[in-house]
Structure 1
């Protein structure tokens, strides 16, 4: 556990920080003046030491003294775990499992990624053979010990294991015993013997669910990332102490940094989850609770769907590995503002997934980049105006962007304008395809949703994407360019807990042919298990200083048809028949059919949460009596747009003001293109409500 100093001073400000691939974003809320506008800031990220950019931003915001006096609550979305996992830069980690099962992660699920490739590339196993160790402690499917760590032999066995681990020069240990989620005793004994020397992860703590391969991968990821994440959080804590530090989890809730360091596998979608937390908050604030979101940053675009609440999944991936811990249901593609454009072997224009990142960045950033990117295409087409970019604090090198575009245009035998427009169209098509995957292909009707964009580049593409999806309504949030950082401020403290609970249902009194659970489950036993799970989550929040009456709990069940591998999650309302019928309906919506088969209860889940650091955001400036709406700064002619394009400075707009396209609405952190035929109205919170026709 990471120690942090106590903060006796009252919290006066709340700072949300999102570290991205290109920029580190800041949103500051003043608790002394809750009606004052939020302050926002951006600095270029420092991938070699992410905390350096954070401390630079704190200094630029004039918060160094307040942080040093413990008066600023800092909530952070970190990419340290994500980047280390994607780049294979976790620490040297040993894997311990039952006797006879050390090849568990090498064998995997025996599924092909390329079904018709007869010569697939070999997949390097996550743990080398020499780092896989076997120990007794076998548990059967009922939780009974078959091969216990005998008392007389245990000390000798563990002492020998320690010697082998020391000889292997490992920094972390992952323990995954079969059926440990039913009886964790062997894993607990091993962890207690090893944790004084190594960072140790036990599978019954990381993922107490069935599926030995997925549980092993999650435990290995947690162990291999643990030392790196802990070291990073210690450095950051040292830099901001005595101010409190919390970290965003992959589920869209925050956790104190001292606990987060022990569970880095729960931080793999830390940054993107912040954007969804803010989008959900925005939906509740505006009354539009069905949102199709896309977060277009510098490196990638993350798309997701919010149907009243953030959708979670246990079927995520990080690189080639499954991540079965709960995380926001998100589809990510390599199409961001910094994505490279290039000609492929056939001479066709392609965009992404490789990106310019923070260094050197797009050519127009003037940091030495020489290859054309999506951002360069927007600059060449005039959609990024140099004098308004980052409020004029960062000069755009338009000449460098044109040179990069001309080099690619020559290769493609196209004009500069054709090349730039082609880059935009291809990037848009990548994002449209991803948005369809997360919505239409899952049985949702798009006419019920509004498109919500955020990220620094999102506003330039929102109208084109909405038209491609035949949507008439869209939202560009206030502070959309730093929405993930805003999400850190408005996200609740929370925990997601799970426990395996497998029971097969039999025929009940539902409609003919349906199979249910009501005759096969002891309801009292189920309620007792759920109550124990709930209390465990409550205790964790109580340990963080949350008051009992502030904690809220939501219970749910994972159900599937017998014989299926994957399951659906449904809320629990103490009614077995209702939850079974709900499963049939949800299965039919998702997959197009329901089956006359027994239903299996796989896992129990509990979400416990407490109010966010900030529950109300200040309203946007309204029109004082006698003052006219803000006027355009100027009009410009843009490539590909027939009419003159008016340029507005977003902070000057007033609530209720309507702007008709074509127009550019600029602000410090992003630019919104209101396309021809669209109009934008400023709502009372400063969001741009876009409508077409």
Structure 2
């Protein structure tokens, strides 16, 4: 029987659903329920209904919010004698160099729950001092007395020899059946004990809450439904795997948006994109140069997480970002957000403080009767009153104040885009800006002008793109191994053959894991991507390159692109090998629009509205996006309305609708 496909993205303000029943696509948005995200999801699934089996792909914020709010499990940390403070000492880097009041974030595990075992493996993987089973038994008794809910185990050099970790992990699982146990050699078998320990601790800390959440969802689904979860690396994995390795979902929702932008952009002929996802609470930006960029150097709330994650930079500027005045009288926007409850003033749910959404409404860039397809009317009078009050306080004109607020918000978002482009050796002018999220279309063109980006790409249903991306995501598992091998030009072909042999261990693990997910035909529905982490000897950071017979040349080419120079005659080394296993299933196709009849004004223009741009008032046309056809073009200022978002076209821009219904805006 044919499955119904459902993509679900939980955001700070709205929970988005995109679904496909047979040949018909449908969309639904509902306000999020931050106290229990499952409530909004189950409500949406009930609205979508149907008795057929459903494949539900879900991007969850549970792991992220658990970390940010510090509401995870009571977690213990077990390591070698003399190293229990490693997660507190960390690295010598000071996050804010000139902040005299800076304090490092508190570790997730307090000192009284950090424990040591007198055992040791050498840097060559040899056992220097063996484990004493009686010491482990005594430790288990202590953990029982402390009533811990999760345990993270991380020993030195376990990536070379995991024997001690496995012994302790297996014994803990056998004796403490209700306690989640995370073992570093299973989560991240790589060198750098601090980052490995930190990642393992995060996994243990969020696991009980994630397990409870997944269990709640599965108990309320129908027996024939399948639930898979979006990962931070741009792929999906089974719900059962997420319960064991929730650390892989810390940027689950934003990753769905980047995957959606990548797949839809490529379908429309755009290979180089800067993604701009502006929601209610924050803005996420990322860079796609042929494919999404991954990083293993992510920090969330100051805590390192070293699993592969799509390189996404986030700033606290969204539609719900609150406008405030600091003690010096300067106007500020965010990072505090009005969220879903009470929300912006215009929602009429008790919000009293001006937000970015209120500002767009005040300037005429939102159409009050066409928000959420007309299902939610925005209130204008309370917003007008709030602007008049604040402008009197600041002794300025209300419209000048409103445009100043948007300028501040846009400058914050411009800075985020520069971080992932200019600071990494890319020129934004060589990319298109792919705009999505509920608020993205109201700011995208203004950002593109600031950055010199020539085109803005707005897909259909931009406010639901993250959910669409989840339906387009492949099944992905990541594997890694630290190898520490010298890289010399004269012997790099021999090194290549040796690396191919080392990869076989990871490939065998991948074949076994992916077979459980239903992908067994290598080269047909299962593909491997091999990459290397390479550095100059003595450096602290690596550059990731594809596996080839010329890794030295490839490394220096990438290094020069990133930093503008290479270190001549400096020894190089391969630090880690990485394998990505990609299971490719059937994807839902995108329908093409009928061709234009040349009657855009009669067919799609549904009204006019007074709007402010650059201190001047314009009368702009309001266009119903659902009435647009492929090949429609216009070059007048306008506001394009649809169910999930609003797109603002200021004076001086031209727009074309491509065959898939995407808006291509020439700035």
| Per-residue CA distance 1:63-118 (angstroms, 9 max, x = gap) | 1x42xx5x111000000000000111111100000011111111111222232445
| Contact preservation (8 Å) 2:594, 2:629 | yes
For residue 240 of structure 1, give the secondary structure of its aligned residue in structure 2: coil
Aligned residues: 658
Aligned counterparts of 1:91 and 1:459: Cα–Cα separation in 2? 39
Residues 586 and 627 (structure 1), Cα distance of their counterparts in 2 relative to 1, 3 Å cut: closer
Structure 1 match to 2:440: 458
Structure 2 match to 1:300: 282
Residues 459 and 612 (structure 1), Cα distance of their counterparts in 2 relative to 1, 3 Å cut: farther
Aligned-pair CA distance for 1:612: 4.2
Structure 1 match to 2:592: 619
Aligned: 1:656 with 2:637? no
Structure 2 match to 1:437: 419
Aligned counterparts of 2:429 and 2:622: Cα–Cα separation in 1? 31
| Contact preservation (8 Å) 1:90, 1:228 | yes
Aligned counterparts of 1:199 and 1:522: Cα–Cα separation in 2? 40
Residues 122 and 494 (structure 1), Cα distance of their counterparts in 2 relative to 1, 3 Å cut: closer
Structure 2 match to 1:529: 502
For residue 395 of structure 1, give the secondary structure of its aligned residue in structure 2: coil
Unaligned runs of 5+ in 2: none
Structure 1 match to 2:483: 501
| Contact preservation (8 Å) 2:511, 2:520 | no
Aligned: 1:593 with 2:565? yes
Aligned: 1:396 with 2:378? yes
| Contact preservation (8 Å) 2:600, 2:632 | no
| Contact preservation (8 Å) 1:51, 1:236 | yes
Give the TM-score, by structure 1 length: 0.92
Aligned counterparts of 1:540 and 1:145: Cα–Cα separation in 2? 29
| Contact preservation (8 Å) 2:430, 2:453 | no
Which piece of structure 1 moves more, 621-630 or 122-131?
621-630
Aligned counterparts of 1:658 and 1:558: Cα–Cα separation in 2? 47
RMSD: 1.7
Aligned counterparts of 1:551 and 1:137: Cα–Cα separation in 2? 40
Structure 2 match to 1:20: 11
Structure 2 match to 1:288: 270
Which piece of structure 1 moves more, 11-20 or 605-614?
605-614
Aligned-pair CA distance for 1:367: 1.1
Aligned: 1:169 with 2:166? no
Structure 2 match to 1:186: 164
Aligned counterparts of 1:403 and 1:93: Cα–Cα separation in 2? 50
Aligned counterparts of 2:305 and 2:208: Cα–Cα separation in 1? 19
Residues 338 and 611 (structure 1), Cα distance of their counterparts in 2 relative to 1, 3 Å cut: same
For residue 65 of structure 2, give the secondary structure of its aligned residue in structure 1: helix
| Contact preservation (8 Å) 2:620, 2:638 | yes
Aligned-pair CA distance for 1:660: 2.0
Structure 2 match to 1:246: 228
Aligned counterparts of 1:393 and 1:12: Cα–Cα separation in 2? 29
Which piece of structure 1 moves more, 683-692 or 606-615?
606-615
| Per-residue CA distance 1:329-351 (angstroms, 9 max, x = gap) | 01100011111111111111111
| Per-residue CA distance 1:231-258 (angstroms, 9 max, x = gap) | 0001011112320000000001001111
Aligned counterparts of 2:383 and 2:656: Cα–Cα separation in 1? 32
Corresponding residue to 2:33 among 43, 46, 66: 46
Aligned: 1:570 with 2:545? yes
Corresponding residue to 1:558 among 515, 526, 533: 533
For residue 453 of structure 1, give the secondary structure of its aligned residue in structure 2: strand
Alignment of 1:321-400 (within 5 A): 321-400=303-382
Unaligned runs of 5+ in 1: 1-9, 510-516
| Contact preservation (8 Å) 2:189, 2:482 | yes
For residue 113 of structure 1, give the secondary structure of its aligned residue in structure 2: coil
Residues 457 and 563 (structure 1), Cα distance of their counterparts in 2 relative to 1, 3 Å cut: same
Alignment of 1:84-123 (within 5 A): 84-117=66-99, 120-121=102-103, 123=105
Aligned counterparts of 2:644 and 2:594: Cα–Cα separation in 1? 19
Aligned-pair CA distance for 1:503: 1.4
Aligned counterparts of 2:232 and 2:604: Cα–Cα separation in 1? 42
Structure 2 match to 1:75: 57
| Contact preservation (8 Å) 1:629, 1:653 | no
